[in-house]
């Protein structure tokens, strides 16, 4: 009887621990890219720390090729939770978001939830979304 109880306990513990760390996928579909020149640079944040400007605090970053003025980015092995991302079209390949002397971007950019800024970049809570399963975010680049 003790062996049966122990086996059931171990199986239940394994099932709970594997559900708690379920891994999900985020697919980001980017459209309205001005040209196929350069790459899309994206930084994914889990929580507000660093969002959207300090990509050193991003949990994942990617550089993706552009084809037919579109790009698709896949992030895998994500835990459930609140996320936000910022991306830009690095047309000249310098790995930086170029802006003019007033700080206005010279290259196309976008944010999760397709947030459209009026004056400045969004706060995390203005662009966050929940991942609870495999998720798709569609973003139209702002040029």
Kindly report the backbone phi and psi dihedral angles of residue 20, in degrees, each rounded to the nearest multiple of 5, phi listed first.
Answer: -65, -25
**pLDDT below 50 — which residues of the chain?**
5-10, 12, 16-19
**Model confidence pLDDT, tens digit, residues 117-133:** 998 999 999 999 999 99
pTM to 2 decimals?
A: 0.84
Tell me the C-alpha distance between 2 and 77, whole Å: 37
Average pLDDT, the chain: 90
pLDDT at 10: 45
């Amino acid at each position: 009887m003790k062996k049966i109880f122990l086996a059931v306990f171990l199986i239940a513990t394994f099932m709970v621990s594997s559900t708690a760390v379920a891994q999900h996928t985020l697919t980001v579909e980017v459209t309205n890219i001005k040209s196929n020149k350069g790459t899309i640079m994206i930084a994914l944040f889990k929580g507000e720390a660093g969002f959207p400007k300090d990509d050193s605090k991003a949990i994942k970053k990617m550089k993706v090729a552009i084809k037919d003025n579109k790009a698709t980015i896949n992030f895998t092995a994500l835990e459930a939770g609140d996320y936000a991302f910022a991306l830009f079209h690095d047309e000249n390949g310098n790995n930086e978001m170029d802006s003019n002397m007033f700080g206005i971007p010279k290259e196309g950019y976008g944010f999760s939830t397709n947030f459209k800024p009026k004056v400045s970049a969004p706060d995390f809570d203005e662009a966050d979304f929940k991942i609870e399963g495999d998720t798709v975010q569609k973003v139209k680049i702002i040029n």
